Structure 1
């Protein structure tokens, strides 16, 4: 059964290895008969800063309105990004800050500690590159970026299950190793 898949490329440079992973995933997903849309955050025109937090409404730029529409459309969302300083790049975080707003991604219940997860019914897959060996990121650093994205953003908004695939270390990796990672991304797309 085909799915509506949104791929969000969170690396500011489309020509990065993350861009190659996103393209490989998209090729695999389309080959399997899925409908795929791509958002490259580096191509969007928006202010990544939520200047007043949630205390004032900050009008969404057209690219962010389109981003919310694509998220609403999607059944499965794939985020492709590098780990920089333990977490996602600032531009991707800015996109999330501006798009995953109260009333769109979640809604607090009046007089309660609980909230409604407004993006329920969707799944996600994180395809994440890093220069740190993935085992070190997991056992020594305790995966701060993975936990942030999976638990405190996506699952908080109702998106689950959330799968995570880490590729690394990218620094000094061979072409053969990169080809193997690209083939893996393509396979993930085929089996989304």
Structure 2
């Protein structure tokens, strides 16, 4: 049975994102997946990478549990709103802290990056108040690009599909229900085409972090 991790990255449990994450999870279960729903707003951790990549920072128990869920997953889904062309501080802080260098990625001797979460697929679901053509043509689809290319693919996940939900502002209850059904269908479809990782690659290799070594973060390299 494939395992799906759904990450609800909205700070508000009454948000459309929260509802979308729950409905995707329902659809994935209907498709035969074992599902874990990770709500970032419920985690207790410091969202600040206090000294950047220059030193170790103690990893809180909730982050350790989140890492274990990432390791166990065959498919990872991130549901988040687009705010100021990016993602909420809550999600950015989680990515900064959870996807630590030496754990989610490392640099080879030749300086090229290596993603350590390979063998997993992913989907990004974003909500937006702007039209899709505006995001893609004029804004460069920055939030989706950040999550797909500079984060998930950088850490080895592929393929990484994207779904854009909007325009949310001014949408009717009927439109919102249609979006909820859309992501439920996606969850079911993704679950049925996601193989169990034990048929692909082993779990994440244990690669120790290198304390006290400065360097550019993954977003700078992969953007």
Query: If the TM-score is normalised by the length of the shorter chain, which range does it land in?
Result: over 0.9
Please give the residue correspondences for 1:1-192 in structure 2 after superposition, counting only pairs within 5 Å.
2-110=1-109, 112-192=110-190
Following the alignment from structure 2 to structure 1, what is the Cα–Cα distance between the partners of residues 158 and 63?
A: 22
Following the alignment from structure 2 to structure 1, what is the Cα–Cα distance between the partners of residues 144 and 46?
A: 24
Uncovered stretches (5+) of structure 1, i.e. residues with no partner: none
RMSD: 0.8
* Structure 1 residue 148, shift from structure 2 partner: 0.8
Following the alignment from structure 1 to structure 2, what is the Cα–Cα distance between the partners of residues 68 and 15?
A: 26
Name segments (4+ residues, structure 1) moved above 6 Å.
Answer: none
Aligned pairs, number: 190
Following the alignment from structure 2 to structure 1, what is the Cα–Cα distance between the partners of residues 146 and 113?
A: 18
Q: Does the residue aligned with 2:59 lie in a helix, a strand or coil?
A: coil
Residue by residue, what CA displacement relative to the aligned partner does 1:104-147 show, whole Å, maximum 9, x if unpaired? Answer: 1101123x221221011111001110101112101111111111
Q: Is the Cα contact below 8 Å between 2:22 and 2:37 reproduced in 1?
A: no
Following the alignment from structure 2 to structure 1, what is the Cα–Cα distance between the partners of residues 33 and 153?
A: 24
Following the alignment from structure 1 to structure 2, what is the Cα–Cα distance between the partners of residues 173 and 57?
A: 45
Following the alignment from structure 2 to structure 1, what is the Cα–Cα distance between the partners of residues 20 and 142?
A: 22
TM-score, normalization by structure 2? 0.84
Following the alignment from structure 2 to structure 1, what is the Cα–Cα distance between the partners of residues 41 and 29?
A: 23
Following the alignment from structure 2 to structure 1, what is the Cα–Cα distance between the partners of residues 7 and 72?
A: 13
